[in-house]
Structures are given as C-alpha cells and as structure tokens.
Amino acid sequence: MEGIIASQVWEFETKFKRNCDITDDNFTGHAFFIQGLKANPEKKFRDHRMKLDSDTAVASGAVLRALNRELGPVRIIQSSYGYLLTEPWAPDVIEAHRSSRPTQPDPNDGDLYVKNTICWVLKKGDEVPPFREFRFRTMFTFPVNTKQRFKCNQLLYVSDRRHESHYKRGHRNNTGAKEVGQIEVDMTFLRTEGHIQPVRPDNLHGRRHYRVEYDLVMIVDGYNIKYEARWDNGQGEQVLAEKQINIAAAFTSLESEDESEEDEEEYLTD
C-alpha cells in the first residue's frame, strides 16, 4: 500500500503540484484513484480515495519521497562526470593501457601504474535514476622514512562529451574534460593513531611503505552529485571529506520527452 501511495505522491509532485493554488477559494483539490482502498471514516478513507489535509500531505510526501527516491523518472544525462586516478597497468585487460606503458615501477610497492587517468562514472547519454551510489576503492602509498603528511587528493572532472574510461588525462579521448573541483583528505591519523603499519612489497622493486586505503563514493541524489571520501574503522564508516555539485542543467527527463511526443501527436491529429 505504501508503494502505491508513494507513486501517487510522485505523480502529484511532478504533474499537478505547480497548477494547484491552495489559496484560491475555488480550489476543490485533486482526486487520485487508489485501487483496493476501502472506506474508513476514522482514517478519512472513502472507497478508492484518501483525504489529506495540507499539513499531513506535506509531511507524508516528504517522508515518502525520501523513502522512495527510486520511483522518480529515469533521466538522460547530457554531461559526463568522473575523477582522476592512478590505476594498475593492465594492458591485457584494459585496451586504453596498451598505449601507456609505465617507464618505471612505483618506488614504494614496486608495481606498474598508469598515472592520471580519468574514470568516467557517468557518461553523456546514459540513463540515470534519481538516486544511486557508486563506490570505488582508492589506494595511496607513502614511504616509511618520511615526515610528510598523508594527503590524498582526488580531482573531479566534467565534460560536455561522452568519453571512455582509463585513458590518460591528456589523451585525445579526454578532449573537453575540465576540472570541476577536488576532495583533499589528510590520512596522517592512520599512522599517528596506529591504524596502519608499514608493509613490505611482494616484489624486488619496492620498499617498506605505508598503504592508505579508503572509498571514494559518488552519490547521484536528484539534481546533485555528492562525492564523499569514506573510511571504515571497523565500527562504521566515517565521511572524511565531501564535495557537492549541482547537475540540474545536465539532465533531460525521459518522461518529459515522452509527453512532448504525445503532445505533438495530438496536435498533428487535430
């Protein structure tokens, strides 16, 4: 039942709300048909209808929208969003790496990496739901014999074009990409509070080093994207840094497109 009512709330919010003026004395409300709802005077239920006063409707609508964000329309995004990263060199698996052979191994763990590639999480033309989380494991290495702070920067990118991931920032595939912000996280506390200890590499090219890991979470929530750096201490996640970007201008609603097509058909047949 909650799901049925939630869908009706969404229909009201997206199709009827802007045309409702509750200050107009002639406004008599708008009825929504709810299949299977039985009459109950105490709950203000009539057969297939439920009456809400304005305060209850606002409060109920807010709760249901928060709990049922997935009921919103799927939209087509008109921009691409991603972030800069360093990823293990894997030419046998990732085609983009075949033209980017690293010249030397990482001095700490001794592995080969392709630096400054862009991971495009949302690509222009993709269908995007109103709420979704994308989670990526992020890793940085630091030498043991240093007093430098463990600062980890994540650069965020946007583009008006569609791109494939794994290519270096300066590659022609990423033409048009622009930095839109960054998340800076100071993870020095992992060392000073004893959460991590030096580790040895599993090869002959590296040295003892600190390995810092946390999750970069990209959250699509309505017309905003929030990037969060999250670290789990074993008792729960902590948000160490965040950055929010408004992306309202980057969306086209599939529902709106369908309605426009229907309106055009009606106009042509009149």
| Separation of alpha carbons 136 and 82, rounded Å | 11
pLDDT tens digits, 108-147? 999 999 999 999 999 999 999 889 999 999 999 999 998 8
Q: How many residues does the chain have?
A: 270
β-bridge partners, 141: 211
pLDDT > 50? residue 261:
no
> What distance in Å separates the CA atoms of residue 230 and residue 130, rounded to the nearest whole number?
22
Alpha carbon distance 73, 14 (integer Å): 10
Q: Which two tokens stand for residue 148?
A: 């430098």
For residue range 161-214, list pLDDT tens digits in order: 999 999 999 999 999 999 999 999 999 999 999 999 999 999 999 999 999 999
How far apart are the C-alpha atoms of 267 and 118, rounded to whole Å?
Answer: 46
* 79 pLDDT more than 70: yes
pLDDT digits (tens, 9 = 90+) for 143-161: 999 889 999 999 999 999 9
From the CB of residue 110, how many other CB atoms can be counted at a distance below 10 Å? 17
| Residue 174 phi, psi (nearest 5) | -100, 20
> In this structure, what token pair is assigned to residue 45?
């239920």
Global pTM exceeds 0.75 = no
Strands, DSSP E only, in the chain? Answer: 45-46, 49-50, 75-77, 80-88, 113-122, 127-128, 131-143, 151-159, 178-186, 209-221, 224-232, 237-246, 251-253
